[in-house]
């Protein structure tokens, strides 16, 4: 079964294509056999499962009008320009798969299968996604595994893609699938068109430089502020200052993945009582989990810095879907040295507020925008050099992705739970992601299996922290330890989403100065 084939015998116009941003494109050279850069979701559903043919037919019907499933990468000649997205004919047999868990079909078996499915790199000659139907889960349940390359989706857009496969009603009946090219789809451009576009893009670089110089002369104060913001962003991203830790180091080839969860209502109540955001509560949870996990391993906490990169989505609600990543980031030190859960939450609240006051998200966004103006060859070399050197700036990834707020259905079956998957990369050996769905939340934790064979204990400690911190009897009164109650903004919570792996090492001597601390 194939979908959305582009027209034949035509040539496309490169200028009308969607070129990968600098942030999207660096995920490609950074990907290795030991560092596959896929993001994903695991949906647990009530049974009975559909037949594999019915599953594939449902997916085809839901995807018929969506653009993302047709997008494949097309490289520029000699990699002198960033790749572009082109439309491709999709054979669902290459992307939609079926598996069965052996008895007893418990969640540990499912987690092992998820790690196995997420490991192999996706074929870059095809659209960068897969769906798996997994039958045989205990209790008459089954699962759907969604896998997509990080260059194609970030957390918010990945959630939107999965959400587009779901329906608000349990009513579903098979209907014919109309295979047609979406409006505006075009065939891949010719090599001549690629070369012409590349020459035009390179020719515009000196024009951009002159324009920037003129702007600097005409608006020196604004330019000074922009330069200061860029320097702050580069310092946040590139200056290696972390002491050695078991949570940082070379990655093996295998991963372990587990998840835990709880009531989102309890999290919201605690956020209101603590005068903080839902994201603050979420960050306090892994802080406590990591504390117990590290102490149990005999790791000294004195002098340890546990710094999390926290993606901040730049997507606006309701804007059209587009491939790639729209995110900046803040960097929050998790207070693992504090023994009391409420003290940890208060410390997290103070540190996230300081990051906002310092406008760190805007500074890292400036770095991302600057990278879009660099020649692709320099960007590619920088990304590879950055990957080889190691980043030394963060040792934890903590992402927060809002999912559907109401119950959803897949092929007429109710979705019971959605758990997120984030890859480990750049010597960061664990990632944590919180996803909300229908009044509950899950926290998916991915870890390097070789360096952290006891990851299950970290998941258990995070679950214990959820019970200790988020349980209703742990909520302080408005006049208690947390002070006067305030309304934690859910809108603000929903803007703080998804994963942003560290950007490319750029700007030559400026970067070296930042690493030495002299800039």
Residue 483 burial (CB count, 10 A): 13
The helices-and-strands tally (H runs, E runs) of the chain is 14, 17
The model's pTM = 0.83
User: Tokens 């758990």 map to which residue?
Assistant: 419
Mean pLDDT by 10 residues, the chain (519 residues): 46 62 88 90 95 93 81 86 86 90 95 94 92 96 95 74 88 64 61 82 78 79 84 84 89 95 94 95 96 94 89 73 74 94 95 94 88 83 76 89 92 95 93 94 96 96 92 42 31 33 35 44
CA-based nearest residue to 22, from 225, 322, 326, 330: 326
* Nearest-10 crossing angle of helices 22-30, 376-389: 50
Is residue 283 one of the residues assigned to a domain? yes
Show the tokens assigned to 503: 């950007």
- Which residues form the domain of 455? 212-398+448-474
Q: Is residue 368 part of a domain?
A: yes
Is there a contact between 115 and 132 (Cβ–Cβ < 8 Å)? no
Report the run of H or E that residue 29 belongs to, with start and end. helix 22-30
Contact call for residues 376 and 10 (beta carbons, < 8 A): no
- Reported as type and span, the H/E element at residue 441 is strand 440-448
Residue 3 in any domain: the answer is no
The per-residue pLDDT for 322 is: 65
DSSP assignments along 116-185, one per residue: HHHSSPP-TTS-SEEEEEEEEETTTEEEEEEEEETTTB-HHHHHHHHHHT-BSSS----------PPTT-
The answer to the question of residue 249 being in a domain is yes
d(CA 237, CA 231): 10
Q: What is the pLDDT of residue 494?
A: 33
Return d(Cα 331, Cα 395) in angstroms, integer.
11
Number of Cβ within 10 Å of residue 384's Cβ equals 15
170, 46 contact by CB (below 8 A): no
pLDDT of residue 317: 66
The phi and psi torsions of 186 (rounded to 5 degrees) equal -140, 155
Residue 422 in any domain: the answer is no
3-state secondary structure 99-121: EECCCCCCHHHHHHHHHHHHCCC
Identify whether 131 is part of a domain. Answer: no
Q: For position 183, what pLDDT does the model report?
A: 44
Q: Rounded CA gap, 195 and 208, in Å? A: 20
Task: Note whether residue 233 is domain-resident.
Answer: yes
What is the C-alpha separation between 332 and 349, in angstroms, rounded? 10
Helix (H, G, I), strand (E, B) or coil at 519: coil
Structure tokens at 123: 């074929």
Q: How far apart are CA 122 and CA 118, in angstroms?
A: 9
* CB-count exposure of residue 267 (10 Å: 0-12, 13-18, 19+): buried
Supply the angle between the helices 264-273 and 278-296 in degrees, to the nearest 10. Answer: 100
Distance (Å) of CA 402 to CA 84, 440, 443: 29, 11, 12
Environment class of 450 (CB within 10 Å of its CB; exposed 0-12, middle 13-18, buried 19+)? middle
Domain count, the chain: 1
7 found inside a domain: no
Cis peptide before 290 (omega within 30 of 0): no
In angstroms, rounded to a whole number, what is the distance separating the alpha carbons of residues 417 and 431? 20
């Amino acid at each position: 079964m194939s979908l959305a084939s582009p027209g034949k015998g035509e040539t496309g116009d490169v200028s009308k294509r969607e070129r990968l941003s600098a942030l999207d494109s660096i995920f490609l050279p950074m990907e290795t056999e030991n560092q596959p850069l896929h993001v994903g979701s695991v949906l647990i559903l009530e049974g009975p499962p559909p037949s594999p043919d019915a599953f594939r037919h449902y997916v085809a019907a839901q995807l018929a009008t969506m653009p993302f499933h047709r997008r494949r990468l097309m490289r520029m000649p000699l990699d002198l320009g960033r790749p572009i997205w082109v439309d491709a004919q999709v054979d669902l047999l290459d992307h939609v798969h079926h598996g069965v868990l052996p008895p007893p079909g418990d969640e540990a078996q499912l987690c092992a299968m998820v790690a196995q499915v997420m490991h192999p790199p996706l074929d870059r000659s095809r659209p960068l996604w897969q769906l798996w139907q997994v039958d045989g889960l205990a209790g008459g349940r089954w699962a759907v595994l969604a896998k997509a390359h990080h260059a194609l989706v970030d957390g918010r857009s990945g959630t939107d893609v999965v959400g587009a496969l779901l329906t608000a009603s349990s009513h579903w009946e098979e209907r014919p699938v109309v295979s047609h090219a979406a409006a505006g789809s075009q065939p891949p451009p010719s090599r001549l068109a690629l070369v012409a576009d590349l020459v035009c893009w390179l020719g515009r670089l000196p024009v951009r430089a002159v324009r920037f110089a003129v702007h600097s002369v005409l608006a020196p104060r604004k330019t000074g502020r922009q330069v200061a913001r860029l320097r702050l962003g580069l310092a946040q991203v590139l200056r290696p200052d972390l002491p050695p830790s078991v949570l940082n180091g070379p990655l093996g080839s295998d991963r372990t993945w587990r998840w835990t969860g709880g009531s989102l209502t309890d999290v919201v109540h605690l956020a209101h009582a603590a005068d903080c955001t839902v994201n603050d509560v979420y960050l306090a949870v892994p802080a406590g989990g990591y504390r117990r996990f590290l102490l149990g391993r005999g790791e000294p906490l004195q002098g340890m810095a546990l710094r999390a990169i926290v993606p901040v989505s730049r997507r606006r609600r309701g804007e059209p879907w587009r491939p790639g990543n729209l995110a900046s980031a803040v960097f929050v030190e998790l207070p693992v040295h504090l023994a009391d859960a409420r003290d940890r939450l208060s410390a997290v609240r103070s540190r996230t507020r300081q990051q906002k006051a310092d406008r760190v998200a805007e500074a890292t966004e400036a770095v991302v925008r600057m990278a879009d103006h660099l020649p692709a060859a320099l960007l590619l070399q920088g990304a590879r050099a950055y990957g080889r050197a190691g980043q030394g700036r963060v040792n934890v990834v903590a992402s927060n992705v809002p999912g559907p707020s109401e119950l959803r259905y897949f092929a007429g079956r109710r979705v019971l739970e959605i758990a997120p998957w984030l890859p480990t990369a750049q010597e960061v050996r664990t990632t944590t992601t919180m996803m909300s769905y229908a009044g509950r939340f899950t926290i998916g934790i991915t870890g390097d299996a070789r360096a952290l064979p006891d990851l299950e204990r970290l998941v258990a400690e995070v679950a214990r922290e959820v019970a200790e911190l988020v349980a209703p009897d742990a909520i302080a009164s408005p006049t208690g330890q947390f002070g006067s109650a305030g309304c934690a903004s859910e809108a603000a919570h929903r803007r703080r989403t998804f994963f942003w792996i560290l950007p490319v090492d750029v700007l030559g001597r400026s970067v070296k100065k930042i690493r030495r601390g002299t800039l």
